[in-house]
Amino acid sequence: MKISFLGTSAARPTTTRWLSCVVVQRRGEFFMFDCGEGTQYRLLQKKIRIWHRPAHIFISHLHYDHWGGLFGLIASMSLEGRQQCLQIYGPPGIRTLFLSLVKLVRKENFPLEVWECSPGLILETTEYRVLACKGTHGIPTLAFALIENMRSGKFYPDRATALGIPKGTLWGKLQAGKTIQIEGRTITPDQVVGPPRPGLKIVYAIDTRPNKHIKELSANADLLIHDATFSRMQQSRAEETGHSTAYEAATLAKRAHVRQLILTHISARFRTDEILRNEAEEVFKPSRVAYDGLTLLLPPNE
């Protein structure tokens, strides 16, 4: 998976941070988490060609800084001649909001589906699923997890060759988990294929206080992208506004046994990432502060 951070600021943009947006690319399919103002420009800068590709957009909540770029994006898709369906997911109220406004910006050349989601499974295919859980904010808020299904085990050609299995159809059958017969012998997949491998898991939780639902959703994630609007010096402000400190995000990451934590939704008061990074690393070393343009590549789990 390729993860691109297009906007990492909190409620207002700065000269270096635009409003919230993270894009995950997986095998030619796009998953966008929030769509702050200016998102389409950032897509152009990063040469992310989403216009005609399968795409799902997940909006965490209905504060403007998390969806304000969506109508410009939809308008550009229309002008580009998009024909594929665009699917948008979000909390209750999103359908009324978008369907009442989207007529102003979209030509009727591609279908648009808007789904109001509750915690639980919200999207599932043969290769992955997307789950949602409740965030803790001033209005209904969702955190999301993109979870790949288990992958087949690694195929070992040397084992197959040693067993006298010719390369070709029989190899394919064994890789597909089928038992074969050759020269009166029975060969089972476990003789040439390793154990199943877990898929990748990415969790997106911003504009929220840490809570038990997000901890459970984040369990053993390869990557947790979490709100870190404030530092411990603004603890009371974080509680008052329904946000997290870097220290709290790192504590949740440690307790959930995630592999890597990325802090985002950074308040404009922070001119550098030093304070938040140090605060998080004090609790959980594999932490870093996102910046606009940050790109991560997550290789498959082996």
Catalytic residues: 65
107 vs 83: CA distance, rounded Å: 11
**From CA 281, how far away is CA 1, in angstroms rounded?**
25
Nearest Cα to 59, choosing from 124, 14, 13, 117? 117
Residues 6 or more apart from 141 whose CB is under 8 A from it?
60, 61, 91, 134, 135, 207, 208, 242
User: Would you state the structure tokens that stand for residue 119, as one six-digit string?
Assistant: 């915690």
Instruction: Give the count of alpha carbons within 13 A of 15, CB side only.
Output: 2
Give the residue from 140, 57, 42 showing the smallest Cα distance to 98: 57
* C-alpha closest to that of 147 among 301, 286, 302: 301
CA distance 132 to 123: 9
- Strand locations in the chain (E): 2-7, 21-26, 29-33, 55-58, 86-90, 112-116, 120-124, 128-134, 142-148, 180-182, 185-187, 201-205, 223-227, 261-264, 287-289, 295-297
126: amino acid identity, one letter: T
Amino acid identity at 167? K
Distance set, CA 249 to CA 36, 47, 104, 226 (Å): 22, 31, 39, 6
Angle at 300 between CA 124 and CA 30, to 5 degrees: 45
Site of tokens 């390869």: 222
